[in-house]
A and B are shown apart, each in its own frame.
Chain A
Amino acid sequence: MTEDTKPEFAEVTHERSFSRRGFLRNGLSVVGAMTACVGALSPLRELDGDDIPSVEKFLQRHYKEMNGTEMASALERIRREVKKRWDIDPVVRDVRAKDGVEFVYALNLSRCIGCRKCVHACVEENNQSRSPEIQYIRVLEMPRGTTDIEKGNHHYDRPTVPDDDHFYMPIQCHQCADAPCVKVCPVEATWTEKDGITVIDYDWCIGCRYCEAACPYWARRFNYTKPEIPAADINPEMSYLSNRPREKGVMEKCTFCLHRTREGKMPACLEVCPTGARKFGNVLDPDSEVSQILKNKRVFVLKEEVGTLPRFFYYFDERYPRTEGGLDGEGETK
């Protein structure tokens, strides 16, 4: 445009190597570009100290490579961080797997009534983010007659449960013996322990979410932002591999409450289950409840065809749940 209308003027300006007008125009462009660069970096204003890892954390080694002193200082650092953020004194420990123990979970679909108590007891026990909401257990309301989880709905909201035309199928981490999430991790931040629990070193995770994509059971959760937990809701009994507070940008998952179960206790989801649908124990002990269930009940695993060898078994032992208003006779149907 400018060249077409005033070519002789443009030529003249061009011949002069340094004009006032040219200086101003070029200068404006440069200043504008620099301002835009600074502006583009302006989200850095929102960074606070917690977003930058401490030198200590940055230099911390992988869980499996840490010796006793290094682990002690890592636990001390976690204790300090919790104290600073929530002003409570937690008990942070590193609870190790025991020999001769392999954990198995069994869930009786005939007894589950879909009350979602397990979901919220888990959130409470494992210090999951309340906002945004992170939950390890997803309770699917399934139409009777199929176990196709694509037909399930986890947003059900009824005045009362159970509903006579549905059954309820809670899904959480299946602690697979051949876990796809472990195989895809590019930095070995997740692995299966000798008692069968798949764990994550939250300080080693880079947040690539490959494991989330690999998991056929939707069992892994990502911290998109800084987890928000009210100080009053923090569970101060923490362990390195399970329920210590997580950071923004790392994965987390169900660990069968390893800080409880490795010390002989039942996981929180089982403790709260009002119907006894949830069963947990050591499968290497032939008299344990789960061993008895595997021997005597018709158990199945979810998505058997994907070959993940889950340690989480489902079973039915009745045709219909016995709820209020239903018939109570043995073997009778509507």
Chain B
Amino acid sequence: MSGTNLGVSGIFFALAAWFFLAPATDPYPSSKPVRAITPEDISTAPRRVRMTEPPGIGEGAFRLSCQECHKLFPSDRDVRVRLSQHEDIHLNHGLNSWCFNCHSLEDRNKLVLEKDEEIGFDRVEELCAKCHGTVYRDWERGMHGRTNGYWDTSAGEAERLVCTQCHDPHSPAYSSYEPLPGPNTLRMGEPLQDGHDERKRNPLMQWRGQSGQESGHEPTQADHESTLAPHSEDEE
């Protein structure tokens, strides 16, 4: 009996020692984002600056608009030659590959609608509507494009963005972005730091890595993350 007592008390002492001496554990592993988010990352500013006036060169009183030069060098509507000026403009607008579809032949400070009706740069959405009628109809109803500010116009102003605040008129396809960091829900910390593979510590990662990944995948910087998600590659 006394021996049993001694054994039990030994276990109790061992437990007590373990409770006291065990290092304070972090109950929830850290899952900090891979990088800090800066105010620029989540800026609400439009992607492009709206151009209400025709562009020009020079400043203040010395500013010259397009037409100041172009009136000296009239263009021929029917002769299509490669430009020796404006080489910075790369026209990549599908079938629309002719300057005078949009710009006025007579007054280069103007844009042109059907039947040579000239409009200012501040009415660019009407110009785009010439071809993109369905998108323009959607935009008018607020179904296409950005609306910032207030949904309740009695409380404040709704800011409707126009075509050129998102699309470059010379190359209107929406350009791509570098995505902001994804969720760190598996709490993997920094990927592959100092040659130390974090994946080995996480059984879920090991399982995913063995079962899901197919071969022939180029090792890229996205390699680490794509290991997490075999589905995204499976469907291709």
Contact = CB atoms under 8 A, between A and B. Distances in A.
Interface stretch (A19-27, A86-94, A186-194, A203-211): A19-27
A143 B236 contact: yes
B180 to A, nearest CB: 4
Contacts of B8: 29, 32
Interface residues of B, number: 82
Contacts of A307: none
A135 B183 contact: yes
B183 A115 contact: no
B77 to A, nearest CB: 25
B176 A324 contact: yes
A2 interface: yes
A266 B151 contact: yes
A17 B232 CA distance: 76
B145 A276 contact: yes
A32 B13 contact: yes
Contact of B174 (A139, A225, A297, A322): A322
Interface in B155-180: 155-156, 161, 166, 172-180
B34 to A, nearest CB: 9
A38 B153 CA distance: 64
A74 B17 CA distance: 44
A157 B221 CA distance: 8
B176 A161 contact: yes
Contacts, number: 247
A116 interface: yes
A161 B31 CA distance: 24
A7 interface: no
Interface string B44-75: 10010000000000000000000000000000
Contact of A280 (B13, B43, B144, B151): B151
B81 interface: no
Given A28-B9, A159-B221, A264-B156, A21 B176 contact: no
B145 A32 contact: no
Interface stretch (B98-106, B113-121, B122-130, B135-143): B135-143
Given A293-B143, A328-B173, A39 B5 contact: no
Contact of A28 (B6, B17, B161): B6
B144 A276 contact: yes
A147 to B, nearest CB: 13
B30 A261 contact: no
Interface residues of A, number: 92
A130 interface: yes
A224 B31 CA distance: 12
B207 interface: no
Given A10-B1, A113-B176, A121-B42, 16 more contacts: A25-B6, A29-B9, A36-B15, A117-B42, A144-B235, A156-B229, A161-B179, A162-B176, A165-B236, A224-B27, A264-B156, A274-B166, A276-B146, A282-B151, A326-B173, A329-B95
25 contacts: A22-B2, A32-B16, A33-B12, A35-B13, A36-B16, A39-B16, A39-B18, A40-B15, A40-B19, A115-B177, A119-B180, A124-B42, A146-B235, A153-B229, A158-B179, A158-B222, A159-B222, A160-B179, A161-B179, A162-B176, A275-B166, A288-B142, A293-B143, A322-B173, A324-B174
Interface of B: 1-3, 5-6, 8-13, 15-20, 24, 27-33, 37, 41-44, 47, 92-95, 138, 141-156, 161, 166, 172-187, 221-222, 224-226, 228-229, 231-232, 234-236
